[in-house]
Chain A
């Protein structure tokens, strides 16, 4: 198949939870930033985060004047009987000329493609397109130009996939590690009533409690014990799939350890697999975190493009101080 992929240098796609974080990311060397509106249309619908329409306009000015691109994520699923916020988000993205719109909902993709045929569309990881036929379906039907791959594929599988599709691929590179197929996980709403697909949140802070009992600190989500820490353990956030649970009379990290994805050690493999862009997670993170991660990745990507390499230690930025290459390495499964 023909390809518009030119994997000579990986594109660095960075999070911008606020206008200030956006400027930090651009200044630190991001090729591209992604952000969302301050409502349920985006999958990081946290208090105090995200952008108004006016702030998006300013963000586009700042990024474009520094040769960076801006992607808008409208990556939750529109509500039945009440989809105005979602279609307005798409219309605003087109009017302000974002560099691309990241969508998951097939009804919205259909709307965006028909109403704004010139708007560049990326397929969100929340659409869970994990094979060539699924991805080509979005290309054929809606003219999608890039797919953010679900974190379920190994590097050889990504390489094989890239040979069968004719659009760009973006993969997760650093940050929180969802062990479940995104867009198909209702663990959060089963426990808290709030879901990634419908409300843009997972394990929301409004449902979190920490309880000190003697020397033990327990982390709770909606009344369920998600983890428990001794005096010398660092207490993590109770994201429910990264807690300790009991099955078969054994207690441990049944789904996933509290660990961060870090692909700096496999950048050359990802380039050879035909990947176009690397996505850094963390729209809810501080400016200092964003600056440090972006600077590290800028350096790692530039080194990899020169044929140099090696993993960059970012353990101080990782959850639990641990890193993983997740599904990119078959051993993870």
Chain B
């Protein structure tokens, strides 16, 4: 698995600017990742006042990381559309990851990336995006092993699969963080900043269920495809995404890198991960064609 690439997906949560800057500086200096996604995917309002991006991009580039700029997942009003046009104007200098068809449309004919919020479920769709200039495609997390195999057999682009972190299950026009705090979306007071990994949602009987993050609904469990890495690389997938959380992502990325470099076995790597995040529930169900929340133990 030596030629695998380890990539850090976009930060989905509303951390304050100082914390985000420090996070990326440390990623630049210490994390064994190849590519780092920067940008706001969930809520355009969160971009207000965040002027640290150029500094972070310079630091990451200087450290030898490829910087990718990720776009919004749900583009509705004029502000969202303007942010998207501004983003795509940077396509000559940076790889842009589209998470909405309008972003794909603006990037067509130039090299670009397709993010996991774009529905790529079959070969015909994969071909359509590749013919339009997509060089990197991050596949929907819902796909089972059989679909990943079929797509990988036909892909000319670099295919990526998320192997760590809560899964972004849904997005809405409605802000659930604001609603949970009895605020309107317009007057949200940015309350999503209270939950750096999302606000846990349990059932009435206390079962762990989901997590909310502004307009987004995440899985309660953290996807972990550590044990599936050999099968994924065997089918030709080379790019693996870690979705950032409020844990030691440098340490997490080192564990995945050590597994990819065969310095750790799968059980050793999973033990290390569980020590790092001992109270966390992991899941790999989607890969195995069952409910996404399930954890299937494989040898």
Residues of chain A at the chain B interface (Cβ within 8 Å): 77-83, 104-108, 110-111, 127-134, 136-138, 151-153, 157, 160, 179-181, 183-187, 189-193, 195, 197-198, 218, 222, 224-228, 241, 243-248, 250-251, 254-256, 327, 331-333
Contact of B143 among A80, A241, A256 (CB under 8 A): A80
Q: Which residues of A contact B47 (CB under 8 A)?
A: none
Most buried by A among B78, B127, B170, B185: B170
Residues A79 and B121 in contact in the complex (CB < 8 Å), given A136-B105, A222-B291? yes
Report whether over half of chain A's contact residues are helix, strand or loop; otherwise say mixed: mixed
Ordered by A's residue number, 19 sampled pairs between the chains whose C-beta atoms are within 8 Å are A77-B119, A78-B121, A79-B121, A80-B123, A80-B143, A81-B150, A83-B124, A132-B81, A133-B81, A133-B105, A153-B76, A157-B76, A180-B217, A190-B169, A197-B121, A218-B205, A227-B204, A243-B203, A333-B174
Return A102 CB to nearest CB of chain B, in Å. Answer: 16
Q: Do A131 and B75 touch (CB < 8 A)? A: yes
Q: Which residues of A contact B104 (CB under 8 A)?
A: 137
Return A243 CB to nearest CB of chain B, in Å. Answer: 8
Report whether over half of chain B's contact residues are helix, strand or loop; otherwise say mixed: mixed
Residues from 145 to 169 in B contacting A, C-beta threshold 8 Å: 146-151, 167, 169
Q: Do B173 and A81 touch (CB < 8 A)? A: no
Residues of chain B at the chain A interface (Cβ within 8 Å): 73-78, 80-81, 84, 100-102, 104-106, 117, 119, 121-129, 141-143, 146-151, 167, 169-176, 179-181, 184-185, 199-207, 209-210, 212, 217, 219, 285-286, 289-294
Q: Do A246 and B202 touch (CB < 8 A)? A: yes
Q: Do B210 and A80 touch (CB < 8 A)? A: no
Q: Do A189 and B291 touch (CB < 8 A)? A: yes
Q: Do B201 and A246 touch (CB < 8 A)? A: yes
Residues A246 and B76 in contact in the complex (CB < 8 Å), given A110-B124, A133-B81, A255-B176? no
Contact of B292 among A106, A186, A250 (CB under 8 A): A186
Complex Cα spacing A130 to B291, Å: 28
Contact of B122 among A80, A129, A151, A183 (CB under 8 A): A80
Contact of B102 among A134, A179, A243 (CB under 8 A): A134
Q: Do B146 and A131 touch (CB < 8 A)? A: no
Return A321 CB to nearest CB of chain B, in Å. Answer: 22
Closest to A110 in B: B128
Q: Do B122 and A190 touch (CB < 8 A)? A: no
Q: Do B200 and A247 touch (CB < 8 A)? A: yes
Q: Do B203 and A185 touch (CB < 8 A)? A: no
Q: Which residues of A contact B170 (CB under 8 A)?
A: 180-181, 184-187, 241
Q: Do A254 and B174 touch (CB < 8 A)? A: no
